[in-house]
Structure 1
């Protein structure tokens, strides 16, 4: 259907094509090259950290974060439950056990009280998730982490451009990780970033990023022929310079993209407010939400699956929110996270991207109200 309103859509064009052409002309297309270095410098400045590494995706950045923080088999890492399973997977990749903890019913980010209750002698750290881009309660989480000698990681997959008490997402924990997947606020189709203020963590991560040795670019800048020795088990987690070029252009667009999506979120709020069967997403007053997704909560009496199928039939793309991770069979976690489990079955994501027109926003809202009302009346 040509008139389908897309759930998510990247904003790319001539600027990105020109950036790619420059990389092609340079002859360096591989990862960790000069364009990646320029992007890392720009991204670190954007998120307010001293160091940034461009990675193949957010999952690889999370894996590097946990490895450089020393997570090992037998450890436990507390993870906010309401998240895409890449967060829990990254813990399992180290041989440690993710311990999923429940979330706040308003912001959907991890509940600090649940974190405190989940700490055991095996706990080594906390991974907080900025759900749909809204930052978690980092001041409270930092107090808990410091009191128990734990690390704190920010899974900022969705939160480029967000802020918490005036501080940018990415600067709120020991390490933060970002995603540049196609549905994220800024995107190269795929990609990610690892950011930190700590030189020791950054240096270790940069080595693990590229099979455990210095990058070819660093070796090429030496005054002698460097033959690297492999002393660490590293990975191929580099972002190509082609993708890095796209990301530099996306950083140029970021302020406008954020302003547009905030205006769209405000308009949705105006059009959907007051509906007894639809609860709007909440933005905490001390945070700036980047609106990577716009997710409403349907009343428990409404058949979400039926609503979603009817919306799609009418040309409005939609999907569920994200996962109550503890319910996934892979993890085998018996403890319940009731708030997260409830959100998992009631959340509905509707179109949110910077290319939406005013008419499309109005159509989405009107169609949602009509469909929800019709199903509730049955």
Structure 2
């Protein structure tokens, strides 16, 4: 089968086992995964969605496409991820969701955000596009929020060409997203709501299965190369190298450095 079928279902099952959640819904790309996650949680006009001010545009545009207002919050400069203290200051009565982005492969500090969400009544939707296989306190990212969005674009740690997925352990969220990705179709030609064609193809899913089998090896190779970069670059005083917090397993989707001091980048 060329469209979504048994291979796609197998990919969803295997990826859910890898992340440690009940459900994975494969979709056409990571932006769609973010959009459908927020849509399934009821985000809409009048709502606010807290997002980092340092991220890819899709994190904010997913909320805007639903009529919600993105609230930009500063990051922790050591991890490039949401600063929980800044999030707490930004949350209001209109906050419907917070999207921690595990940028460059380093997990956001999730425990304070999940706790705050429970206390203040908002959802946590993880953006795991750059952190497939990363871990927070021994658990894989994507298993902490009510939903989590993944991207399988060619620049990610694993790829299906184009593609994405939503991970969740919420039965209702998974059911809603499955409907929305396939024209609201409950069974053949029985449509119970409006929806789109946001499906992944079986060809993409087959590639995803092959990538998933070697993902842990490839992530470990990234970590090995990051150690080499650190050994070679730590003597350069103008460079601030990537951090790995004690509670994190970094998978280095990108190895980013911070150039300190004015006028030094071009010289370096």
TM range (shorter): over 0.9
CA distance in 1, matches of 2:261, 2:163: 36
Q: 2:193 aligns with which of 229, 232, 252?
A: 232
Partner of 1:338: none
CA distance in 2, matches of 1:103, 1:245: 36
Q: 1:133 aligns with which of 75, 98, 105?
A: 105
CA distance in 2, matches of 1:149, 1:181: 32
User: Secondary structure in 1 aligned to 2:71?
Assistant: strand
CA distance in 2, matches of 1:86, 1:109: 16
Q: 1:265 aligns with which of 222, 226, 238?
A: 226
**Partner deviation per Cα, 1:202-234 (whole Å, 9 max, x = no partner):** 0011000111113xxxx4xxxxxx5313x3221
1:254 is aligned to 2:227: no
**Partner deviation per Cα, 1:153-184 (whole Å, 9 max, x = no partner):** 10001111100000111101110111101110
Tell me how far 1:124 sits from its aligned partner: 1.2
Mapping 1:1-378, distance limit 5 Å: 28-31=1-4, 33-214=5-186, 219=187, 226-229=188-191, 231-302=192-263, 304=265, 307=266, 371-372=267-268
Tell me how far 1:302 sits from its aligned partner: 3.1
CA distance in 2, matches of 1:194, 1:125: 16
8 Å CA contact 2:150, 2:166 repeated in 1? yes
> Larger helix proportion, structure 1 or 2?
1
User: Secondary structure in 2 aligned to 1:143?
Assistant: helix
8 Å CA contact 1:277, 1:302 repeated in 2? no
User: Secondary structure in 1 aligned to 2:46?
Assistant: coil
CA distance in 1, matches of 2:106, 2:226: 13
CA distance in 2, matches of 1:233, 1:100: 30
Q: After TM superposition, where is structure 1 displaced by more than 3 Å over at least 4 residues in a row?
A: none
User: Secondary structure in 1 aligned to 2:149?
Assistant: strand
**Partner deviation per Cα, 1:225-244 (whole Å, 9 max, x = no partner):** x5313x32211111111110
8 Å CA contact 1:133, 1:291 repeated in 2? yes
8 Å CA contact 2:52, 2:82 repeated in 1? yes
CA distance in 2, matches of 1:267, 1:189: 29
8 Å CA contact 2:238, 2:264 repeated in 1? no
* Number of residues of Structure 1 aligned to a counterpart in Structure 2: 268
User: Secondary structure in 1 aligned to 2:226?
Assistant: helix
Partner of 1:10: none
Instruction: Report the aligned-residue RMSD.
Output: 1.1
CA distance in 2, matches of 1:148, 1:274: 45
Tell me how far 1:303 sits from its aligned partner: 5.2
> Larger strand proportion, structure 1 or 2?
2
CA distance in 1, matches of 2:106, 2:185: 36
TM-score, structure 1 as length reference: 0.69
* Structure 2 stretches lacking a partner, 5+ long: none
